[in-house]
A and B are shown apart, each in its own frame.
Chain A
């Protein structure tokens, strides 16, 4: 399978990465090189094989459903490019 420039632009949109027309064209050939490389997986017989969900044979640890951390609003927002009173600031989203 290979992608055309329209697909590259659609994927860029889904990825939330701005892309110029010129870059979309060069990206198209780069992505097709990679997709061409992974194409060889089609020759593997995977009939009846379960897809891997956990690489190590162990049961995931569960913890009690209780609050054991928190009240760190200042820490959480400390690295934000824009914040006010421990709120993240974003461009207006509701008119």
Chain B
């Protein structure tokens, strides 16, 4: 029999239907693959094989009975940020030590209702704060991709990006058919770009945030990381929903995203923002962008130059808004309600000791920045100003869309994957933040964005292209994304594990 872990979600679905193999067989293949290879990547922080095999057996019964759901019997990995009933949920932080929720996130419940099989919980940057998956309490994740000539156990280990680094690595290494992820400033799209996978961040409000561990509530959004564009469309179709338990969740029907795959983009207007051409950007990124434009043009789209003048202010504004919201959201971790407690001589000292021991350094930095910018006397100078800049960033996009641009094409990241423990980035937090320079604008404006593999750099590492769309027009991104995929092809890491 073929190795079932090589198949996409669509191929598994078709194979189940044709009775070529069962979900139990596919799930067992993944359980075995994780057992054999997870140690090479550290992608899963906990595995749930018994649950997975139970869910797979139930899925097979439904498939046989002819009432299979959209994800029936599909083995997936879940980012540790989603609350999963009775299963490890810590957003990879020590402060949630031992936390096992008594409830289920809406997104995962939607997926289970549609028949998904959960293989385990995936590594991530602590509280989704990071762009390299190195801030996780459970340690760094290794990217399945290594540089050409270094593809051995001893070759330089590269980061998979972050914060959804475990999700991206597991999908690229075939340790799950697809994975949930989340994106506050680029945490779906940047790791997808660095691992040759597809990452879709939908419009703010498209997926419910109920049961997702909160980082920055006005920016956080759930989405999938998958092998290809079709699989991302299939997954989002299950993840998205209206939800009375999240008041910011959009009250809109979920369209048939998969139907958009392969549709012609003839006549579509694709915007190219001049502000995304950064000083010192590697030639390869520029070249990739040019190739992306050619792919669009060859498929009949019209390329138009556009301007998004406030682009350069998105990242600094983000580093006020996101820490401010985080400082408020993370106030709930106090050693009383759940997770870690470190005693002190009074309640205040208990709070301080618990939070000092429970939060990692990046999380502490962001809580303190957030507390500072919200403190008396600084609120208007920092927070109110950042929110005004955010209005301007959104307006830039609106003016382009109003002028008839259907979607915007940019590089997904300013570079390919870098080494774990990169000294320059470790020494300067802002250097690390710059990884998200092309993705963060999309969160600030609440728009949908997709990262699709565009090619390899001269070291043999994957690079991604990003498409940005109008609010709630994810279908356009799947449509245009599948054009890039058809032209650029698929990229698989050479196996060293």
Contacts and interface: CB of A to CB of B under 8 A. Distances in A.
Task: Answer yes or no: do A and B interact.
Answer: yes
Interface of A: 1, 3, 7-8, 11-12, 14-19, 27, 30-31, 33-35, 37-42, 44, 46, 49-58, 60-63, 72, 75, 78-82, 88, 90-93
A8 B398 CA distance: 39
How many B residues are at the interface, by size bracket? 35 or more
A52 B347 contact: no
B429 interface: yes
A33 B218 CA distance: 25
Interface in B226-253: 244, 247-251
Interface in B276-311: 310
A8 to B, nearest CB: 7
Contact of A31 (B368, B389, B433): B368
Contact of A16 (B98, B351, B388): B351
B391 A93 contact: no
A56 B203 contact: yes
A29 to B, nearest CB: 10
A3 to B, nearest CB: 7
A41 to B, nearest CB: 5
B375 interface: yes
Interface stretch (B28-36, B125-133, B315-323, B453-461): B315-323
Contact of A55 (B101, B204, B339, B428): B204
B394 A40 contact: no
A49 B218 contact: no
A38 B371 contact: no
A55 B388 contact: no
B327 A44 contact: no
Given A31-B368, A34-B369, A81 B339 contact: yes
A15 B338 contact: no
Contacts of A92: 347
B39 interface: no
Nearest to A42: B385
**Is chain B's binding surface mostly helix, strand, loop or mixed?**
helix
Contact of A91 (B310, B316, B350, B359): B350
Nearest to A58: B250
A56 B205 contact: yes
Contacts of A91: 343-344, 346-347, 350
Contact of B391 (A19, A51, A60, A82): A51
Contact of B102 (A14, A18, A42, A78): A78
Interface in B359-399: 359, 364-365, 367-369, 371-372, 375, 378, 381-382, 384-392, 394
B221 to A, nearest CB: 10
Contacts of A53: 387
B382 A11 contact: no
B101 to A, nearest CB: 8
Nearest to B89: A79
A7 to B, nearest CB: 8
B356 A33 contact: no
Contacts of A19: 356
A34 B386 contact: no
A27 B341 contact: no
B430 A37 contact: yes
A33 B337 contact: no
B356 A40 contact: no
Given A17-B356, A17-B359, A81-B335, 20 more contacts: A11-B375, A27-B364, A31-B372, A34-B365, A34-B429, A37-B315, A39-B316, A49-B388, A52-B388, A53-B387, A55-B219, A56-B446, A58-B250, A61-B249, A61-B251, A72-B102, A75-B102, A79-B98, A79-B339, A93-B347
